[in-house]
Structure formats: structure tokens, C-alpha cells
Amino acid sequence: MRLVLSSLFAAASIVFVAELASAASVVINNGFAPPNPANVINASNSFPGTAVDVQNVGCNVNLIDPCPSPGAPTSVALVTGGVVGGLFEAHETSSITMSGGTAGALATIESSSAMLSGGEAGDLDASGSSVVTMSGGTVRGELGAFDTASITVNGGTAANANVHADGSSSLTITGGTFTGSNLTVGGSLASIKMRGGEGMAQVIADAGSITIFGQGFEVGGIPVGFGVIPFQHGTLTGALGSGETIDAIFSHNGYQGVDNGTITLAFSTVPEPSTALLVTAGVLGLASVRRART
């Protein structure tokens, strides 16, 4: 059984749905967006025992999927204290924002979108032509892009995770914590661009391309220039464009010019630590002067 919160339901109807959530799946397809109470999952309105599908008006994954004639998109926010025990998934052109709470997994399909800025999700997956942005929060397992989807990570934590791009998807990493994680590209048309991100354990290109931006790269202590890494495997170290460092085991199949899984090093300016310290000191000094004048 799948309960549906359609545009015909009043905001109060969400209370009834939440009470039955442990026994059924929930579809929210009312065409509303936060701050409408029916579209905010919080401590008093949670779904600890079920999955939640966010869909356009007129669509229901249990009846017809994909939806033949989607209406207006729906947006749902998961905030601090909220719980989705199963899969929290956006369909069609609907969207999810997650700033807190927990979800068994967060996913987007078709042309939907999601933004993760806080909370915890078991997995984070994007497929179809969907778009995901991660600026905070924690992913505990898989972080993957499929089909022609795109994921951008500029913050948050995906420690000990499987981070990958397959199909013709794209993954861009400009920041975040990935301690103990493996970064893998497996689709012949898939691409990963890594400009930041701390702690990646392995970088593997089975097919497709990985481009790493920064300076001062070395393989096993030997300096290497920009371009495709001329070794099949080894340990790559250097400074990333974000100012973070990379110290990861790598392997790829394109080191001899074969277009089948390449890791390429590309130049990027790297912030000078001394410059950042001077800027911080200047800001603190200005603040102290202002306090002295008041």
C-alpha cells in the first residue's frame, strides 16, 4: 500500500499519513513547497518505518513509472529531527532539500534535483538526468552518479565511502572530507573532476576520465608533469586546487595512450597558507579595533 498526499489534501492531512507511515510507503505529490507544513519532514512529522517518494502532481510511482503526464513539481525539506527510514527519492522534476535529520538513502531520478547541506544519509545516488549538490551533511555508504546525472560536492563528509561515476555521468569535487574513501570512474563517457576533498584513499579509473587539479604532484616521491599520469599505478601526492592535499593510491588503464580509463593531472593555482593566515589576522585585528572604539 502506498499513501498519496495529493494536491487535494489539506496541510493537516500529513499528520494522518505520518501516523500510518510505519505500515506504508508515502508519496508526496501535492505541487507544494516549504514552508508549507505538509512538505517539511521534522521531529513531529517523520516517517521512520518507510520510504518517501517526492513526485510531480498527478504522478504516483506505484501506478505508472515513469509518469506519462507530470504536473507541477513538488519540493520537500528534511530538517533537524526529521526521519525517513527508507529511501527518500525525488522523481520527475521534483526536488528534495536536506539540511538535517536522517534518511536511509537519498536519491534522485529522471530530471529531479536534491541539495544536501546537513543531516545523515546512508547513500546518495543520482540517476537519469538529475542534479545533486552536496555542501554539508554526511553520507555513510555510496555516493554515486549514473546515466547522465551530475553531482557536485563542495563540503560535507563521505568517509569510508564508495564514491563513483558511471554511464555518462559527471562528478565534481571541490571540497569535503573523504577519509578512507575510494574514488572510481567506471563508465566510458563518465568524468570526475577533483579540485578539492581531503583524505581520499584510492583513485581508480577503470573507464572514463578523472582529472585532478592542483600543483606539485609526485608519484612515489618522483615529480610528475601535467597530463595523463605516465604510470599505471602508484601513490599520488600533491596539493589540490582547494589548498587541500592528496595522498592516494591510484591506478588507470590509459597510461599508455589507450582511451580506456585515464587519470590526468591539470594545473590549478593553490591558495598560499601564509596569505590565508594574513587575511584572517587582518580581519581579527580590524574587529579588535572596532571593539576598542565602541
pLDDT value of position 268: 94
Share of the chain above pLDDT 90, in %: 77
Grid cell in block for residue 164: 563513483
The CA-CA-CA angle for residues 99, 158, 169, to 5°, reads: 90
Give mean pLDDT, residues 253-279: 76
The answer on 177 and 230 residing in a single domain is yes
Domain contains 150: no
The answer on 225 and 176 residing in a single domain is yes
Helix (H, G, I), strand (E, B) or coil at 176: strand
Could you give the residue ranges of the DSSP H alpha helices within 153-272? none
Cα separation, 193 vs 172, in Å, equals 5
pLDDT value of position 16: 29
The yes-or-no verdict on residue 291 having pLDDT over 70 is no
Q: Which amino acid is at 254?
A: G
pLDDT value of position 272: 75
- Tens-place pLDDT, residues 63-114: 777 899 999 999 999 999 999 999 999 999 999 999 999 999 999 999 999 9
pLDDT value of position 254: 82
- Residue-wise over 144-158: b if at least 16 C-beta within 10 A, else e? bbbbbbbbbbbbbbb
Q: What are phi and psi of 2, to 5 degrees?
A: -125, 120
The answer on 113 and 170 residing in a single domain is no
Domain contains 148: no
pLDDT value of position 62: 76
The answer on 174 and 114 residing in a single domain is no
The answer on 84 and 9 residing in a single domain is yes
Domain contains 97: yes
**CA 25 from centre of chain:** 24
Give mean pLDDT, residues 134-140: 97
Cα separation, 118 vs 102, in Å, equals 9
- Tens-place pLDDT, residues 223-259: 999 999 999 999 999 999 999 999 999 999 888 776 6
Give mean pLDDT, residues 131-157: 98
Cα separation, 265 vs 205, in Å, equals 13
The pTM for the full model equals 0.85
Domain contains 128: no
- Tens-place pLDDT, residues 2-48: 444 443 333 333 322 333 333 368 999 999 999 999 999 999 999 99
Domain contains 132: no
192: buried, middle or exposed (CB in 10 Å: 19+, 13-18, 0-12)? Answer: buried
Cα separation, 248 vs 159, in Å, equals 14
The answer on 192 and 105 residing in a single domain is no
Q: Which residue in this structure is represented by grid cell 563513483?
A: 164
- Tens-place pLDDT, residues 138-149: 999 999 999 999
Q: Is residue 257 within 8 Å of 230, Cβ to Cβ?
A: no
pLDDT value of position 6: 41
Domain contains 156: no
Q: Is residue 258 within 8 Å of 204, Cβ to Cβ?
A: no
pLDDT value of position 274: 47
The answer on 186 and 110 residing in a single domain is no
- Residue-wise over 227-262: b if at least 16 C-beta within 10 A, else e? ebbebeebebebbbbbbbbbebebbbbbbeeeeebb
Nearest to residue 25, comparing CAs of 68, 64, 54?
54
Domain contains 43: yes
42-46, 121-125, 164-168, 275-279: segment of lowest average pLDDT: 275-279
The answer on 188 and 288 residing in a single domain is yes
Cα separation, 95 vs 107, in Å, equals 10
The answer on 268 and 168 residing in a single domain is yes
Domain contains 141: no
Cis peptide before 35 (omega within 30 of 0): yes
pLDDT value of position 9: 36
Paired residues of 28 in beta bridges: 5, 54
Nearest to residue 238, comparing CAs of 222, 255, 256?
222
The number of distinct structural domains making up the chain is 2
The yes-or-no verdict on residue 115 having pLDDT over 90 is yes
pLDDT value of position 273: 65
pLDDT value of position 21: 34
Domain containing 108 equals 1-122
Domain boundary among 122, 142, 174: 122
The answer on 118 and 183 residing in a single domain is no
